[in-house]
Amino acid sequence: MTVPHAPSERTRLKRYHWLAAYDRATIDAIIDAALVCHVGYVHEGTPIVTPTCHWRLDDYIYWHGSSASRMLRNQATGVPVCVSITHLDGVAFSRAAFDHNILYRSVMAFGKTELVEGAEKEAALAAFVNRLAPGLWDYARPPTEQEWKASKVIRMKLDEVSAKVAAGLPEEDEADMALDLWAGHVPVRMVTGDPVPDPKLREGIEMPDFVRDFRI
Amino acid sequence: MTVPHAPSERTRLKRYHWLAAYDRATIDAIIDAALVCHVGYVHEGTPIVTPTCHWRLDDYIYWHGSSASRMLRNQATGVPVCVSITHLDGVAFSRAAFDHNILYRSVMAFGKTELVEGAEKEAALAAFVNRLAPGLWDYARPPTEQEWKASKVIRMKLDEVSAKVAAGLPEEDEADMALDLWAGHVPVRMVTGDPVPDPKLREGIEMPDFVRDFRI
C-alpha cells in the first residue's frame, strides 16, 4: 500500500504522537470499527461526498444502496473514488492557542469502483447484515427476489490506503511548557443506549440477544 | 437553498420518518454539533476526501490548516468542494433483512472555496478556538506572528445545502409487521470522558472550567 498523504502534511503531523499506522491490521481495525464512511466521487467535474454504511471483506471495502440511486448509478464500475473513515477520540487542550487539536483515527482509501453481482452480491449483503449484528441475517425475514434486484453493491479494492492516528497530546515548545497553563485532553467515545422496541411491536416477542448485546 | 440529492434517493427515503430537514435552523444545528467534517475536492481528476475540523460563522463554513498543506494549497480559491457532515444516532433493527438501517443526521453542502486573510482570518481562528471551548482563546498563549503566518483558513458559503435526518424506524409492510420478529432501535451517542491532564503538567495548575465542563 502506498501513502497518498502529502509530504508537507506528514511533516506537520510529526509534532504529534503518531502511531506508525500504515500497517494493515491498524487500517482494517479503523475500517471495521466504523459503520459509516464518506465516499467521494466526481460527477460532471463536481466533487460529491456521500455518507454511507460500509463493510469490509478481505481486501475490499463495500457499500450498497438502491438500484435506483443516482449515486450508485454514477459510481457503477471503474469510477475513481476516495473512501474516508474517521473516528473522533478526543479533544487535546494545549498551552498555546494554535496547538489545540483533536485526537482521532482515520483511513483514506483511493481506488476504482467495481459493481458486485450475482452470488457475490448476495454473499456480500448477507455479510453486511451480519456485521450490523451477528446472527441478524438468519433471524430476519429473507429478501424477496424484488428486494435483491432493488439492491446494488459496489466495492473497491484496498490497495492505496493510509491511516492517521493522533493518540496523544501535541508536543509543545519548552517555553510553552513552562507557562502557568493547563494542558491535557478530554476523551470522546461512542456509546450505545438501551434498545428501544418499535411501538408497533406485537406482544410476546422477545428481544434477540444480538440486539441486547449490540455495541458500537 | 437548493437540494442536490437525487429525486430517486429522496423517493426511497420517504419510507422513513424524515424530518423536513431543509430549514436553516436544522442545517445549522447539524453543522454546529460536529467537530469534524469531510471535505471533498478534485485534484487532477481524482476525488480526495479529507476529514478536518470545521466551524460556522453566519452563512459560511470554515476549515483551516497549515500554510504548507498540499490540500489547502489545492483548495485555495474558487475550487469546487463538497462538505459532508454526519452524526450517527443509532441502528434500526427491522423485521426484514433489507429494512435495517442507521439513524443519522447529515448535511451536504456544495460550493466554491474562498481564502480568508488578514483581520478576517484572525477573527475566524479566534472563533474556532472558542468554539472548541468557550473562553479558550483568552486563556491560551496567543499565537506568534509566525504561527499566524503558518495558518491558512478556507471558507465556503452555505447556499447549496441540504440535510437528511433519519430519526425513526423504517416503515415496514403489513405482512412483515405480522411476523414473530423483534423490531426497534439501539440509540448511539458520543460522550465525553473525564479530562486527562498532560503527564508533563506542572504542579499547582488548576483545570479550567471550560475543560471540566467540556461536552461534545
Mean pLDDT over A98-110 rounds to 93
**According to the model, what pLDDT value does residue A67 have?**
84
- E strand map for A133-176: 151-157, 160-166
Choose among B69, B180, B200: nearest Cβ to A205.
B180
Taking contacts as CB-CB distances below 8 angstroms, the residues of chain A near B35 are 88, 91, 102
Which of B192, B191, B167 lies closest to B30, judged by CA?
Answer: B167
Contact by Cβ (8 Å): B104, B87: yes
Residue A78, domain member (yes or no): yes
Residue B46, domain member (yes or no): yes
> What cell was used for A68?
435506483
Based on DSSP, count helices (H) and strands (E) in chain A, helices before strands: 8, 9
Residue B2, domain member (yes or no): no
Contact by Cβ (8 Å): B46, B71: no
Contact by Cβ (8 Å): B204, B142: no
> What cell was used for B64?
483551516
For chain A, the average pLDDT equals 88
Backbone angles phi, psi at B209, to 5 degrees: -60, -35
- A71 confidence band (pLDDT: 50, 70, 90): confident
Q: Is A135 left (phi over 0), alpha (psi -120 to 50) or beta?
A: left
Which residues, at least 6 apart from B146, have a Cβ–Cβ distance to it below 8 Å?
none
Query: How big is the CA angle at A91 (ends B138 and B112), to the nearest 5 degrees?
Result: 85
The ipTM assigned to this model is 0.90
**According to the model, what pLDDT value does residue A159 have?**
84
Mean pLDDT over A127-138 rounds to 95
Query: Hey, are the CB atoms on A183 and B193 less than 8 Å from each other?
Result: no
Taking contacts as CB-CB distances below 8 angstroms, the residues of chain B near A206 are 182
Backbone angles phi, psi at A111, to 5 degrees: 180, -170
Taking contacts as CB-CB distances below 8 angstroms, the residues of chain A near B110 are 46
- A15 confidence band (pLDDT: 50, 70, 90): very low
**According to the model, what pLDDT value does residue B153 have?**
96
Residue B153, domain member (yes or no): yes
Q: Is B60 left (phi over 0), alpha (psi -120 to 50) or beta?
A: beta
Residue B122, domain member (yes or no): yes
> Among A1-10, A41-50, A124-133, B147-156, whose mean pLDDT is lowest?
A1-10
CA B67 from chain centre, in angstroms, equals 22
Contact by Cβ (8 Å): A71, A50: yes
Residue B1, domain member (yes or no): no
Choose among A151, A190, A198: nearest Cβ to B188.
A190
How many structural domains compose chain B?
Answer: 1
In 10 A of CB B25, how many CB atoms?
8
d(CA B171, CA A68): 19
Residue A209, domain member (yes or no): no
Residue A187, domain member (yes or no): no
Query: Hey, are the CB atoms on A186 and B196 less than 8 Å from each other?
Result: yes
Alpha carbon distances (Å) from B189 to A1, A144, A177: 33, 33, 34
A106: containing domain: 7-182
Handedness of CA A5, A11, A17, A22 (dihedral sign): positive
d(CA A22, CA A25): 9
**According to the model, what pLDDT value does residue A21 have?**
55
d(CA A36, CA A88): 13
Supply the CATH number for residue A131's domain. 2.30.110.10
pLDDT tens-digit profile, chain B (216 residues): 333 333 333 333 333 344 445 688 889 999 999 999 999 999 989 999 999 999 999 999 999 988 888 878 888 889 999 999 999 999 999 999 999 999 999 999 999 999 999 999 999 999 999 999 999 999 999 999 999 999 999 999 998 898 988 887 878 889 999 999 999 999 999 999 999 999 999 999 999 999 999 998
- Using the predicted structure, report yes or no on whether residue A41 has a pLDDT greater than 60: yes
